[in-house]
Amino acid sequence: MELVKYPSKILREHAGEVEFFGDKRELMMNMVRLMVQNNGLGLAAPQVGLSLKTFVWIHDGYPHAIWNPEIKCLSGELTLPEGCLSLPGISVSKTRSCSSVLIGNGINGKPLQFNGNALMTRIWQHEIDHLNGTLIIDSMSKTDEVKNTKAIRLLMEQ
């Protein structure tokens, strides 16, 4: 399993709903391993070349995985710099909600629900953006465009 980087086309696709046909633990653990190796906070399936509505993240030292996620009850706003494992070397100032509820299914297909603080909500929104084919560079300010021009050009040339 390898990390997919921009401008790979799969990063622009809408991921497909997940059907539960057997155990997905190995896939999730491989995604968690790759995320941790790359110092990430979250990792969506399209970032490993899979068009599936799923992502992983670490919270309080424990890995979590969710299938067919939806984010609800968004509230508050916080603007912070944000990076992405699929866009190395790029940082974008991004306004995100700072409270939420995440619902979906666990590895076993059973319903899950998490309440998110500012960091968790930011991670979840970022990963759900990936599932919808949206990247942080899609909402760059002019300042961010200038700051990231070289890094984007390098990714395009690889």
- pLDDT tens per residue, range 105-154: 988 888 999 999 999 999 999 999 999 999 999 999 999 999 999 999 99
Nearest CA to 64 among 97, 31, 34? 31
What pLDDT sits at residue 25? 83
Task: Give catalytic status of residue 2 as yes or no.
Answer: no
**129 located within any domain:** yes
Q: What are the tokens at 44?
A: 């969506």
What confidence category does residue 19 fall into, taking pLDDT thresholds of 50, 70 and 90?
Answer: confident
How far apart CA 57 and CA 123 sit, in angstroms, is 8
pLDDT score recorded for residue 107 = 82
Residue 4 forms part of a structural domain: no
The answer to the question of residue 1 being in a domain is no
Q: Which of 26, 127, 145, 157 is catalytic?
A: 127
Alpha-carbon distance values, 57 to 14, 81, 91, 155 (Å): 20, 19, 20, 25
Indicate whether 3 belongs to any domain: no
Indicate whether 2 belongs to any domain.
no
Count of domains observed in the chain: 1
Expressed as residue numbers, the domain containing 76 is 9-157
